[in-house]
């Protein structure tokens, strides 16, 4: 369970139907101690990093639209590549889709009466065997500058054929991954505790026998007297914990309490103890990367051959999600017109950076075989298209022509690569 979900559940349990909930700083401190919210959250950090890699990659893709087998840049192209909604652009929209897909394993996108697209934050789905599924209580949320969430629930029941519904797989991968991570979290906590103890401080706390009966410990916040047990519990559970965690600290003691360090540092942090934490951290990152179908080296930041790893990322981590979104968009927004050449594709070739000098030979072959036009090649390498009649045409080099088409041309060079001898007679 995430930190934010733990905290939100705590707040919900505190609410009793009133609009205002007061929580003291002591209650928050107790929550942090009980839920261990201050501990390392490597799993969540790794998961968020992996989702960001996928979301950023898909946001870089161009959604190309075709009408009657010809590519067009019309309203549908503008909707998906620039402005699906007034409040956010296409990149933000795609990132919302990816986050919902991976966290929930599904994502619901609805179309407003204005023709804009919105990602639903919550909904109730009713499944049917012979009829389209329906979605009720579809709610979208927006946060203002103060972080206050403003939900809006549509007073409408949406049918499956009226919405875009993306589903990643038959099982929610994050739920399965959570079970695996619980064991790793316990091992990691043990390794971190061992690391802390290896260089920890040891001491003896001496308490005078009369401290429990003769000492006045003041009053608590509610006006009741602070007892010896209250002071002892606070000292052992909070003050000493803060004292040992701080690099430089001073802790005042009540009269009758005496603390003395015994033996200094018990031991030094060894290489093996640090390696235990490092190995477990790498193992957690690797498991998260495997679940998201992305190369672990990219998530760990230890990539050497970035080009090959990026190709693996596109093949196994990006392309399946892009195909799923592409298929759902075509069947819902274009229907059977896809058979007549009206469709859209998600161009994943835009993800990987292309160096124009390294790709020079490949560009020549693509142009000479008529595979791509000049404009298409320029767009692939990050240059603007010329939009002229000649730059949009397809050309084939004579090297790739049929032999019959070369009749009347000068005789080709000999097999040895030299020109045939010239007859001077």
Residue 383 pLDDT exceeds 70: yes
* Digit-coded pLDDT (tens) for 244-290: 767 677 777 877 788 887 754 544 555 555 666 677 778 888 888 88
217 neighbors 231 (Cβ within 8 angstroms): yes
Instruction: Dump pLDDT digits (tens) for 25-56.
Output: 555 555 545 444 444 477 788 888 899 999 99
| pLDDT higher at 278 or 312 | 312
Residue 381 lies in a domain: yes
287 inside domain: yes
Q: How much of the chain is helix, strand and coil, in % rounded to 5?
A: 45, 15, 35
- Determine the structural domain holding residue 90 and report its residue range: 39-105+168-198+268-353
- Give the contacts of 252 (CB within 8 A, at least 6 positions apart): none
Q: Are residues 239 and 301 in the same domain?
A: no
Write down the residue that tokens 């009980």 correspond to.
Answer: 34
Assess contact for 65 and 90: CB atoms under 8 A: no
Sign of the C-alpha dihedral computed for residues 330, 332, 334 and 336 taken in this order: positive
What is d(CA 3, CA 8) in angstroms, rounded to the nearest whole number?
A: 9
Q: How sure is the predictor about 201, in pLDDT bands with cuts at 50, 70 and 90?
A: low
Both 204 and 339 in one domain: the answer is: no
Residues 272 and 389 in one domain: no
> In the structure encoding, which two tokens stand for residue 392, read together?
């949009």
Alpha-carbon distance of 420 to 408, in angstroms, equals 16
Gap between the terminal Cα atoms of the chain: 93
The answer on 372 and 243 residing in a single domain is no
The closest of 105, 99, 97, 96 to 173, measured between CA atoms, is: 105
DSSP assignment of 212-224, as one string? HHH----B-TTSS
Structure tokens given for 209: 């026998």
Q: Are residues 313 and 361 in the same domain?
A: no
Question: In this predicted structure, what is the pLDDT of residue 30?
Answer: 56
Is there a single domain that holds both residue 63 and residue 208? no
Nearest to 197 by CA among 151, 244, 133, 161: 244
Whether the per-residue pLDDT at 125 is higher than 90: the answer is yes
- 376 in the same domain as 348: no
d(CA 279, CA 135): 45
Is 210 in the same domain as 346? no
Structural domain includes residue 251: yes
Q: Scanning the structure block, which residue is given the tokens 């809006």?
A: 152
- Tell whether 396 and 309 lie within a shared domain: no
The count of domains in the chain is 3
Asked if 280 and 341 sit in the same domain, the reply is yes
pTM of the model as a whole: 0.66
Q: Of 246, 266, 286, which marks where a domain is finished?
A: 266
Q: Are residues 90 and 47 in the same domain?
A: yes
pLDDT score of 138 more than 60: yes
Confidence of residue 189 (pLDDT cuts 50, 70, 90): low
Q: Does residue 148 sit within a domain? A: no
């Amino acid at each position: 369970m995430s930190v934010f979900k733990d905290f939100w559940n705590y707040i919900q349990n505190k609410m009793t139907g009133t609009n205002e909930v007061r929580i003291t700083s002591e209650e928050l401190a107790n929550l942090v101690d009980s839920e261990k919210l201050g501990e390392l959250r490597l799993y969540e950090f790794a998961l968020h990093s992996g989702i960001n890699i996928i979301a950023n990659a898909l946001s870089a893709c161009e959604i190309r639209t075709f009408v009657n087998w010809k590519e067009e840049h019309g309203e549908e192209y503008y909707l998906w590549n620039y402005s699906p909604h007034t409040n956010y652009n296409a990149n933000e929209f795609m990132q919302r889709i990816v986050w919902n897909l991976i966290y929930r394993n599904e994502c619901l996108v609805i179309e407003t009466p204005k023709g804009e697209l919105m990602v639903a934050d919550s909904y109730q789905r009713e499944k049917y065997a012979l009829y389209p599924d329906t979605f009720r209580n579809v709610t979208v949320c927006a946060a203002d500058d103060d972080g206050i969430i403003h939900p809006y629930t549509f007073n409408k029941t949406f049918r499956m054929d009226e919405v875009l519904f993306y589903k990643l797989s038959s099982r929610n991968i994050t739920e399965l991954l959570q079970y695996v991570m619980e064991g790793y979290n316990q091992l990691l906590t043990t390794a971190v505790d061992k690391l802390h103890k290896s260089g920890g401080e040891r001491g003896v706390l001496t308490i005078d026998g009369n401290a429990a009966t003769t000492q006045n410990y003041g009053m608590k916040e509610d006006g009741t007297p602070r007892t010896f047990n209250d002071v002892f519990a606070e000292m052992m559970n909070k003050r000493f914990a803060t004292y040992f965690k701080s690099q430089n600290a001073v802790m005042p003691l009540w009269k009758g309490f005496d603390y003395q360090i015994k033996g200094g540092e018990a031991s030094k942090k060894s290489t093996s103890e640090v390696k235990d934490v490092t190995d477990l951290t790498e193992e957690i990152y690797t498991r998260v990367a495997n679940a998201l179908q992305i190369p672990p080296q990219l998530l760990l930041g230890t990539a050497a051959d970035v080009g090959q790893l990026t190709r693996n990322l596109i093949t196994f981590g990006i392309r399946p999600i892009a195909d799923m979104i592409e298929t759902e968009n075509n069947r819902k927004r274009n229907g059977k017109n896809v058979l007549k050449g009206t469709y859209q594709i998600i161009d994943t070739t835009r993800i990987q950076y292309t160096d124009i000098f390294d790709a020079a030979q490949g560009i020549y072959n693509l142009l000479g075989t008529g595979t791509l036009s000049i404009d298409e090649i320029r767009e692939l390498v990050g240059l603007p298209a010329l939009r002229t009649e000649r730059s949009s045409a397809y050309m084939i080099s004579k090297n790739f022509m049929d032999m019959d088409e070369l009749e009347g041309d000068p005789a080709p060079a000999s097999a040895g690569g030299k020109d045939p001898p010239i007859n001077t007679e």
